[in-house]
Amino acid sequence: QKEVEQNSGPLSVPEGAIASLNCTYSDRGSQSFFWYRQYSGKSPELIMFIYSNGDKEDGRFTAQLNKASQYVSLLIRDSQPSDSATYLCAPFTGFQKLVFGTGTRLLVSP
Amino acid sequence: DGGITQSPKYLFRKEGQNVTLSCEQNLNHDAMYWYRQDPGQGLRLIYYSQIVNDFQKGDIAEGYSVSREKKESFPLTVTSAQKNPTAFYLCASSIRARDYLSGYTFGSGTRLTVV
């Protein structure tokens, strides 16, 4: 079992729709969860993080965490073509380091 | 502006040659990390350092070496023992090691190609 599982995609959504990106993790000792966006050929940039069960909103982005189900998600409202990128989920695991998933590729069509 | 600077942006290595990738940060971060990313794959940890003069192997350290003589600098050497070094190399830093609220800040990366 992989430490972090993400659907590789691509996830295709029309402009203005909600994009839902999902991530499951295996280490129950994970304390916090980070979402990074990576444009093709570029380095990852931090979008947001969450450490408590429930929802956390930041602008068009909402992170959702369910530790009992070992599940974290990222919702992007009013998706824009500029949101087209690969989104990496990264739990801070019991080994006290971030472990990165392979990412979900999101395509937003105009 | 504070940030992480990686150089060079592109690097070409001949067979049997050692090359060194530079990583410098002016964020006053304690911890620094080196990752490798292959096409369509996730980030794999090569080495990390939590404090000056100390570093630990990550998941794929074979064929690589590092040093941490200054807080700001964490160079990575790709040795001739690394048989498949062509990849995108990313350096990152975090405020404090072992801090679950500290995300990682990444440099812009070095793309290494074997010729």
Q: What is the pLDDT of residues A59-107, one digit of tens each?
A: 999 999 999 999 999 999 999 999 999 999 999 987 788 999 999 999 9
Q: Do A43 and B41 touch (CB under 8 A)?
A: no
For residue B108, give the chain A residue with the closest CA. Answer: A43
Cβ of residue A107 closer than 8 Å to a chain B Cβ? no
> Amino acid identity, residue A21?
L
**DSSP structure class, residue B38:** -
Q: Do B43 and A96 touch (CB under 8 A)?
A: no
Nearest to A96 among B45, B98, B101 (CB): B98
User: Can you read off the two tokens belonging to residue A20?
Assistant: 């839902």
For residue A47, give the chain B residue with the closest CA. Answer: B103
Nearest to B100 among A8, A32, A101 (CB): A32
pLDDT on residue B98: 82
**Does the pLDDT of residue B1 top 70, yes or no?**
no
The span from the CA of B47 to the CA of B59, in Å, is 8
**Closest C-alpha to B91, from B1, B29, B14:** B29
